[in-house]
Amino acid sequence: MQRLVVLMALVFLVTFPAACGGGGDDAGNGVSPQAPAGSATALPERPPGRFTMCVQAMKDVGQYQAEAIKRLGDALTEVKKDGRWPRLFPSLDAPVVDSGCPEGPAVPAVNFVEKPNYYQVFAFVVVQAPYDAQFAQESVKNDAGANVEETAGIFVTTADLCDQARLVQMLKTAAKFDHTLNPTKTPGPGVTTAPSPTPCLGG
């Protein structure tokens, strides 16, 4: 069953380069030296103490790219009001919210890397999450040999964009405000939720 789930995810992910709804423009609270989605240009190292996130609207919702940037940016403004923010992100530089991600969602299995991506959070906008709404985009092994989520991935549905409270909670969890990891899960096929109406987006 797990093989089937991974296969389904691969079918979804293999179309990522063609499914991106635009990107490459800097947006949000900060500006990064970002390479456009799909570019081979290497990004710089992740800046310590600074929140960095990329946002990518997928094929069927590409028209909501700008709206997703705005709504996630608004939610991030609320996240910054949390008293834990200065401890987690002590940098004086503004958070980065970039339009376009350099790679697609990780398959629903642990994605090990030696060096984490520039972005701490990858947000993919979809009509319906193909697997867990929150997952490990990248993982590294710590000194004890345990798997540690280093880069968070989140699927933001168009319905989520209409719910700021949910966006705030998703960002807090992805940024490890609760100091717990989000292990990647692989639900069996058919364990999905029907897309919700999105009146705030007109669809």
Phi/psi at 18 (5° precision) = -85, -15
- What pLDDT does residue 24 have? 40
So what's the pLDDT on residue 125? Answer: 97
pLDDT confidence bin for 75, thresholds 50/70/90: very high
Name which of 15, 11, 20, 47 is nearest 31 in CA terms: 47
Task: Say if residue 26's pLDDT is above 80.
Answer: no
- The order of strands in the sheet holding 96-99 is 26-27, 96-99, 52-57, 121-126, 147-157, 134-141
- Give the mean pLDDT of 22-32: 43
Q: Each residue of 110-129: pLDDT tens digit?
A: 678 888 889 999 999 999 98
Helices (H), the chain: 2-14, 16-19, 65-79, 85-88, 164-174
pLDDT of residue 27: 38
Q: What angle do CA 43, 46, 50 make, to 5 degrees?
A: 130
Q: How confident is the model at residue 131 (pLDDT cuts 50, 70, 90)?
A: confident
Q: Are 29 and 96 in contact (CB under 8 A)?
A: yes
Q: Which of 151, 152, 171, 158 is nearest to 72 (CA)?
A: 171
Identify the DSSP state of 195. P
Percent of the chain with pLDDT over 70: 65
135-173 pLDDT, tens per residue? Answer: 889 888 777 666 677 899 999 999 999 999 999 999 999
In 3D space, the residue among 37, 20, 19, 184 whose CA is nearest the CA of residue 107 turns out to be 184
Q: How do residues 39-62 score in pLDDT, each as one tens digit?
A: 445 678 999 999 999 999 998 899
Q: What is the DSSP letter of 135?
A: E
Residue predicted with more confidence, 109 or 14: 109
Phi, psi of 174 (to 5 degrees): -60, -35
Can you list the pairs that 40-45 forms with residues at least 24 positions away whose Cβ atoms lie under 8 Å? 43/102, 43/117, 43/118, 43/119, 44/118, 45/115, 45/118
